[in-house]
A and B are shown apart, each in its own frame.
Chain A
Amino acid sequence: MRRTIHVAIREYVTTVASKGFVFGVVFVPLIIIIAIFATKAIMGSGPSLAGTILVIDQSSGEIVAPLIESKFSKESQEASSAANAAAIKKLASDKLKELNLGEDAAKALQSPAIEAAMKDALAGPQLTVLRLAADSNVESAKLTLRLAELGASGLENGMGSDNAAKPIALLVIPSSAISPDGAGDYSTFSLFTIPKLDFQIQAEINAAAGQSVVDARIASSDLKNDADRIRKMLARPRAEVKSVTAKGETKSMGDAAMLMPMAFMFLLWISIFTAGQYLLTTTIEEKSSRVMEILLSAVSPMQLMTGKIIGQMGVGLTLLLIYAGLGVGSLAVLNFMHLLDYTSLALLIVFFLIAFLLIASMMAAVGSAVQDLREAQSLMTPIMLILMVPLMLWMPISRNPNGMFATICSMLPPISPFVMVIRIPAAAGTVPVPVWQIALSIGIGILSVLVTVWAASKIFRVGVLMYGKPPNFRTLVKWLRMA
């Protein structure tokens, strides 16, 4: 026991004190956070595109084009961004009220700085509308787009002209789009764009044109006096989803309900994968540097393996606690603590232990059998596949955490701990996972841990002193029976 502890301490200290670990633990989350903020910043600003939309309005009286023009006028674009800002602000303050953050937060939201930032963020692309004559040739207008594209490549060489005047899209509104045919049906309009036009701008142009066509249809019909009423009637209502539980009505967790299982599973996955990888490499290092037999003169293979697994379990737990601590901390800061319950956290640790011991003993067995990482690849493939399964399953399982599929998966040994940590938080909002299922899963987990550790120790004992041809899976099975 004393020896096992010495091995474990060395394993833990050398791993945690290594530059790689410090880098991984401190810098990788930092990079992820930066990446998240960077994506947000990029997404928020949108492509700062300027350009001209060509419109050929063939409708009688050319009534659509002015509507489109007004939609893309400076005032209108500013107004719409202001409206968006207001909507976002309202949503935010509603959420804040729900979270009981207090008056200060609500006031902070009203500060001019935030308003300015929001206005900037919501400013759309600078688009202008250019009306072409109703009888213009559509094909020659298309040609303009094509030429504009060539001009764009010329632009990079410093030969380009004014960017804002560059045509980016062509709208063709046939008269039949406004005046119905004999059966009362309307035709649609056509939209041509330069290639690779940002999808959001395409959608914006499409929506503006569509709305303008509808408005023009109403205006040109005999219902033109009831335009407002028709619009109000057509506005589609949306309800706020509330789930009814024994404790009363709560707002459905929606997205958050999906996020918690994912967070749990990734916590488990990353800590186990990292520690398992470390176990593999340190075992291979001991073998390839031939320090193994010197170690074996002091400890038995079983003690060595146990010590190494315990040491790396400490590494995995350290990772888990750091990341979970960060997660819980940020939840606390954002006042989302109600999403978390402490039983799930405790169970996360339990399932971590089970999953870690399963994966780690396999890693130790593989590490003992080979001489370098390259040789380990082929034997690692099945373990990696097992580790990939939960990543693919989290979506279906967190959507139906108490379904037959989820229940069965949470009892299947190598993946059961991963599935269980998806199920528990996913089901927490609705029908919690039955206690007997959790207990059974833990029981099956412990049993499979015993079997795996036993098998791994057999392979380990034979493997650590084997040098030469890298073994395949069949050789490992042979060693199982041999030792």
Chain B
Amino acid sequence: MERLSPVPVLPLPEINCLKYAIELTNLRKTFGDKVAVTGLNLTIKQGSVVAFLGPNGAGKTTTIRMILSILFADSGKISVLGRPSAIESKDRIGYLPEERGLYRRMKVGSFLAYMAKLKGVPDGDAARRVAHWLERVGLADCHRKKCEELSKGMQQKVGFITAVIHEPELIILDEPFSGLDPVNARLLRELIDEQHASGRTIIFSTHVMSHAEALCDHVVMINRGEKVLDEPMQRIRSRFDPRLILLEPLGSDDGALMTDSVGEAISRLAFVERVDRSKLGTPEFSITLREGSDTRSAMVELLGVVPTRRLELKRVRLEDVFIRLVGEHGGAGGEDGTELSPAAAFKSGSDEK
């Protein structure tokens, strides 16, 4: 295939005229007598990367579909890129749906060119962009292959190209990492970072919290159609104060006997709720503090009790926040969706999905 000059990821020309890329006011959607989204209020700042989290059936996909005017809200107001409906600004939005597939018999190159043209890329420019993007995601030799010949991960990357090929201002990715191997997941993260660096607003939903932590600067979490968290990543870290301290005792090579006595010493401290010892590798204690205890004095005290090689106050993980929040609200089945909330039960039924 001939080499074409790559398309640089251009910074957006008019980015400051809007403060919010998306504003949802009191958004509500029901399917029959089942409520999918209840009075959702949400604003998403221009240029931010937002992780959109929630258990299965929480209403994420429904909300995203409403933002994109694929579904229509029963009540409430939507403003997308300053317009009341995404239909008027479809060319400025990139969307990778959760239910993604390709025309099985169409060639990858012509499918992407078709999607590009549908999204307003000028006819002359489409071929160049397709070639550039296929090369960027490492599928340059798939240009003439039929879509059905691609593996799932490859199809996913082709799907991602359809979301960004028209250089949209707002990119919405529904479960972009599902089904990708670590190499491709990293590639996708790089691509998302790249898009973010050029000033685009990105919203993505995921069940893999580590992806969310690595990428986003803002987290929105919904459960049963209601918003339960809407905060910048940094504030989440400080608000959900950590209560886990990792401790690696000094001279732990001496044997099990010594580590046993260290563990006992720690567990006698007043602020310690629980001590877990790692079974494998270097001996390490995870110390869970009692609620309300002062982290800083606890660390000082620990240093006094045990000769320490390493002492670490564990950062709060999004996963813990997720489980805590969803748990607090009655739990909608968590990530694996074994226990279904009404909304989740509904989703697996005939209507929404």
Contact = CB atoms under 8 A, between A and B. Distances in A.
Contact of B103 (A2, A7, A289): A289
A293 B97 contact: yes
Q: How large is the interface on A (under 10, 10 to 19, 20 to 34, 35 or more residues)?
A: 20 to 34
Given A466-B350, A471-B350, 14 more contacts: A14-B105, A285-B104, A289-B101, A289-B103, A289-B104, A290-B99, A291-B102, A294-B115, A297-B94, A465-B65, A465-B71, A465-B99, A467-B353, A483-B72
Nearest to B117: A6
Interface string B116-129: 01111000000000
Given A299-B118, A466-B350, A469-B350, A289 B102 contact: yes
A468 interface: yes
Max chain B Cβ within 10 angstroms of own Cβ: one of A7, A285, A468, A471: A468
Contact of A290 (B90, B96, B101, B351): B101
Contact of B87 (A286, A292, A300): A300
A127 B270 CA distance: 123
Contacts of B65: 465
A297 B353 contact: no
B69 A294 contact: no
Contact of B70 (A2, A6, A465, A483): A465
B219 interface: no
B102 A299 contact: no
Interface of B: 65, 68-72, 87, 90, 93-106, 114-115, 117-120, 159, 162-163, 349-351, 353
Chain B interface, DSSP helix/strand/loop, else mixed: loop
Given A6-B118, A10-B114, A297 B68 contact: yes
Nearest to A14: B106
A296 interface: yes
Contacts of A300: 69, 87, 90
A2 B103 CA distance: 21
A3 interface: yes
Given A293-B97, A297-B97, A468 B349 contact: yes
Contact of A468 (B159, B163, B351): B351
Q: Which among A10, A285, A293, A299 has the greatest number of chain B C-beta atoms within 10 A?
A: A293
Contacts of A285: 103-104
A289 B101 CA distance: 5
A295 interface: yes
Interface in A427-483: 465-469, 471, 483
B90 A299 contact: yes
A298 B90 contact: yes
Contacts of B120: 2
Contacts of B349: 468-469
Interface in A290-318: 290-301
Contacts of A483: 72
B118 A298 contact: yes
A297 B93 CA distance: 8
A252 to B, nearest CB: 53
Contacts of A294: 95-97, 100-102, 115, 159, 162
A17 to B, nearest CB: 11
Nearest to B95: A297
8 contacts: A289-B103, A291-B100, A294-B96, A296-B97, A297-B68, A298-B115, A299-B90, A468-B351
Nearest to B347: A468
A290 B152 CA distance: 13
A3 B106 contact: no
Nearest to A301: B70
Contact of B100 (A3, A290, A467): A290
Interface in A316-365: none
Interface in A1-22: 2-3, 6-7, 10, 14
Nearest to B115: A298
Nearest to B118: A298
Nearest to B94: A297
A87 B178 CA distance: 82
A425 B68 CA distance: 51
A2 B115 CA distance: 13
B345 to A, nearest CB: 12
Contacts of A292: 99, 101
Across chains A and B, which 9 residue pairs bring their CB atoms closest together, nearest first? Answer: A290-B101, A297-B95, A293-B97, A468-B350, A298-B118, A469-B350, A289-B101, A291-B101, A290-B99
A293 B353 contact: no
Contacts of A290: 99-101
B218 to A, nearest CB: 23
B101 A7 contact: no
A14 B98 CA distance: 26
A2 B114 CA distance: 12
Contacts of B94: 297
A350 B172 CA distance: 44
Nearest to A299: B118
A293 B118 contact: no
A293 B102 CA distance: 10
Contacts of B72: 483
Contacts of B68: 296-297
